């Protein structure tokens, strides 16, 4: 069984975390990442991640009017983000003091 932490990098984890806060479109996600990083990821970066998360059953498209697709977590996605967040914190929490020096 795949989980989001097994995918390349942290982008899948970040996208799943963002969608866990509210339903989002690919453009919404790109804009939110741009606010945080200063650079906007391309659609060629975001949409393959959304496709993978959807294929693995972590997210699904919402049924809204208009052309823009929005995504929400599935029950499996909610369980996954809890597990992935615990794993992330377990890996990096002990480094918080060290990272604090750079923030």
Instruction: Give the chain's domains with CATH numbers.
Output: 4-100 (1.10.10.10)
Mention every residue, 6+ apart, whose C-beta is less than 8 A from residue 13: 4, 5, 84, 88
Tens digits of per-residue pLDDT, 39-63? 898 889 999 999 999 999 999 999 7
pLDDT of res. 38? 87
Give yes or no for residue 2 having a pLDDT over 60: no
More confident residue, 102 or 46: 46
- Radius of gyration over every alpha carbon of the chain, rounded to an integer in angstroms: 14
User: 9 falls in which pLDDT band (50, 70, 90)?
Assistant: low
- The pLDDT value recorded for residue 39 is 87
**Mean of pLDDT over the chain:** 84
């Amino acid at each position: 069984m795949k989980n989001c932490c097994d995918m390349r990098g942290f982008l899948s984890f970040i996208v799943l975390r963002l969608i866990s806060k509210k339903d989002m479109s690919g453009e919404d996600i790109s804009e939110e990442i741009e606010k945080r990083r200063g650079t906007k990821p391309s659609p060629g970066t975001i949409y393959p991640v959304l496709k993978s998360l959807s294929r693995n059953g972590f997210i699904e498209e919402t049924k809204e009017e208009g052309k823009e697709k929005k995504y929400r977590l599935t029950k499996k996605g909610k369980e996954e983000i809890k597990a992935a967040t615990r794993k992330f914190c377990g890996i990096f929490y002990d480094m918080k003091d060290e990272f604090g020096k750079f923030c």
